[in-house]
Amino acid sequence: MSDGKRNGQPKQQQNQKRKKVTKLHNKTPPPPTIEDIEDIVPSSFTEDETHKMRESLLKWYDLNRRDLPWRRLNHTSKEEDQSELDTRAYGVWVSEVMLQQTRVQTVIGYYNRWMEKWPTIHHLAQATLEEVNEMWVGLGYYRRARFLSEGAKKIVAEGGRIPETVSALRKIPGIGDYTAGAIASIAFNEVVPVVDGNVVRAIARLKAVSANPKDSVTIKRFWKVAAQLVDPFRPGDFNQALMELGATVCTPLNPSCSMCPVSEHCLALLISREDNSVVVTDYPIKGVKVKQRCDFSAVCVVEIQGAQQILEGNQCVSEFLLIKRPNEGLLAGLWEFPSVLLDGEADWFARIEAINGFLKQILRLNPKKTCHIVLREEVGEFVHVFSHIRLKVYVELLVLKGVTNDLFKKRNKKPYLGNV
């Protein structure tokens, strides 16, 4: 290879690319403006680049796609009846919601169990939120399950047809740009892009984007580039191929550039070959992680002896007190043992006072005066880690007897009582 060319490019063109390296590889770039982003992310690939990338990526995907239960090998055809389209759209919807914040291998089992229990949107619409939450246990982020339930009920109430376009899908509770694009392109062949974390990473490296990938202006640019790339004949497969590329090849820490079907178009790879101080994983830049907040909570497992006898006058069976959380916020709408957030670490006596005050305020239940305390003891403590909160939980067991009938009359008046 002559000195005048490298990777098949004239020396003059290489020099032009080198001039961009300093700006692209700024470790601490200033907050991007629209003008900055326009400079950093060119608005389009060339027509020839776009055609080659579509062709290469789809060919690679056809040979290497993972065998996942929500994928179909054939494409949408005019011969498919509406029920088949709706069934596929429903499956795509469920899978994409489950895949948010959850690993693929974890989702597979949940997806199969879900589709076995509720094979169509009509079956899901008949389920209660408690049933849906029970099926969701272990996936976390329960708001996703609630939105699926609410969305199914809305669609069935309005005729039972899942909308086929992004604009119509966006009107369904919990369906944002990403999920709408996935359903519309994969199930209904609408030529629209899909941008998730995997797509952001792939495009950031293809274009050597050094701007913050979480910045709203940058995200809009990613959507614009993805919209230009999406294949007009196989939009659903192309979107899945680009996501698959980010998930299996263009990974965060150890990308397999030698296996990448579009590596010849990757500016980050080109820069890394010309500048030893640059590596592909420099793109996209890493955002500053938000430090987890430390919270403390006192939880009281309240066992009421003789509860069944009070209710029905027969055998003496204990029941446990559950309280429903608010419909908004962390763990919205879920049932839990009575719990109180503490100002910080607290001793046993301070926690008892906090729990007693809570029970008295919410249920007019005063363990000291309105019933007999059979047993009260510390059970232990544990730490539960959420994405943004590190919650230390102190657990106690409180066994009561002689609780008045008034408490049990609240059984069907949420948010007070539920059975274990």
Alpha-carbon span 195 to 205, nearest angstrom:
14
Does residue 118 contact residue 111 with C-beta atoms inside 8 Å? no
- Is 96 designated active site? yes
- Residues 6 or more apart whose CB falls under 8 angstroms from that of 387 comprise 101
Contact 368, 356 (CB under 8 A): yes
Q: How close are the terminal C-alpha atoms of the chain, in Å?
A: 74
Q: Tell me which residue of 359, 322, 264 sits closest to 53, measured CA to CA.
A: 264
| Sequence-distant (≥ 6) Cβ neighbours of residue 350 within 8 angstroms | 342
Catalytic residue from among 79, 96, 164, 336: 96
Bridge partners (DSSP) of residue 382 are: 393
Measured between alpha carbons, how far is 70 from 269 in angstroms, rounded to an integer? 33
Q: What is the DSSP letter of 265?
A: G
In angstroms, the CA 394 to CA 398 distance is: 13
d(CA 417, CA 305): 15
Q: Which residues contact 413 (CB under 8 A, 6 or more apart)?
A: none
- Distance from C-alpha of 321 to C-alpha of 336, rounded to nearest angstrom: 9
Query: Looking at the annotation, which residues are catalytic?
Result: 96
